Amino acid sequence: MESLDLRVLGDALAWRRAGHAVTLVTVVETWGSAPRPPGALLAVRDDGVVSGSVSGGCVEDDLIARVKAGEHHAVPAMIAYGVSKEEAARFGLPCGGTLRLVQEPLLDTHWVEEVLARTAAHELVSRTLTLASGEISLAAATRDERMQFDGLKLTTLFGPKWRLLLVGAGQLSQAVAQMARMLDFEVLVCDPREEYSGTTGITGATHLPGMPDDVVRELHADAHTAIVALTHDPKLDDMALLEALRSDAFYVGALGSSRNQAARKKRLAEHFDLTEAELARLHGPVGLRIGAKTPAEIAVSVVAQIVERKNQSEQGVKPAAGCAVSQ
């Protein structure tokens, strides 16, 4: 469900539209220490250009050589690397790791277009490939589903891009946005304060006009959405958090000291009837405890905690209690 895989599909679609032949390669099984997990996707163009990865590089080199040498398949086929210690060493697979891959020709692009459209609308989609025929079917998926492969059919998941809503457009928000963009998050920013109107154009981020609580409500925050309140203004932060804590967002955080967070939780409980379970979802002080002092250091702690929680949610792991930097 990595957004990287959506980028691979986007590249593959563009290449096919430009008249290139394209081979898709999916990791279906690994043994030992493998560089990429099952489900990882690679696209190889007929001239050897690639998008994505299935290993640390040597396997890609071999796949490129096969494609450039004219090796093509009319239907999907299995391929394995590292079946022996010698071959594992040759292809740079650590600790004797082994990869089993499914490679398939990208002939019909309609399913790619549909996957990209549905994930852009924040849907989670499963794709089932029948190896014997190359037939492909798409269906709605749930977050508890995982990649499946029985030797006959391969089912992989494509999820919407992870997104981050920042309430506040100050210096810290700008640092957080920059780092989140590097990690391929879709970054959204909301700050109705006039004094920050000149800073809402954070590079690579989308500015959402309006009051934060209205923006959160209209966003329909799902399990691929993180929301962080960074204005230090209770009138803005509290209303945004009220909506965020009642949403399906996988992460909700707020800037402020431990004392301020305690006062905030008391306000939210007394005036807005948030339950203990809803309040327990709030990460505050926001970020991991790394002794952060500067805006850039605090941004590192915030983004690191978001990534930690994202990875836990993908694996179905319940996050540990506790949070973060003293601010």
Q: Mean pLDDT of residues grouped by 10 in the chain (327 residues)?
A: 81 97 92 72 94 82 89 88 61 64 95 95 93 95 87 92 92 93 92 73 84 94 94 90 94 92 89 87 93 94 96 67 42
Q: What is the DSSP letter of 300?
A: H
The predicted pLDDT at position 188 comes to 94
Edge-to-edge strands of the sheet including 163-167?
206-207, 186-190, 163-167, 225-229, 251-254, 282-283
The predicted pLDDT at position 326 comes to 37
39 residue type, one letter: G
Crossing angle for the helix pair 171-182 and 295-315, to the nearest 10 degrees: 40
Distance CA 290, CA 297 (A): 8
Question: Over the stretch 272-327, which tens digit does the pLDDT of each residue have?
Answer: 888 889 999 999 899 999 999 999 999 999 999 999 999 888 766 555 544 444 34
pTM (2 d.p.): 0.74
DSSP, collapsed to helix, strand or coil, labels residue 277 as: helix
Distance CA 89, CA 91 (A): 5
The predicted pLDDT at position 327 comes to 40
Q: Which two tokens stand for residue 176?
A: 């957080």
Domains and CATH numbers, the chain: 3-120 (no CATH), 163-315 (3.40.50.720)
Separation of CA 97 from chain center:
26
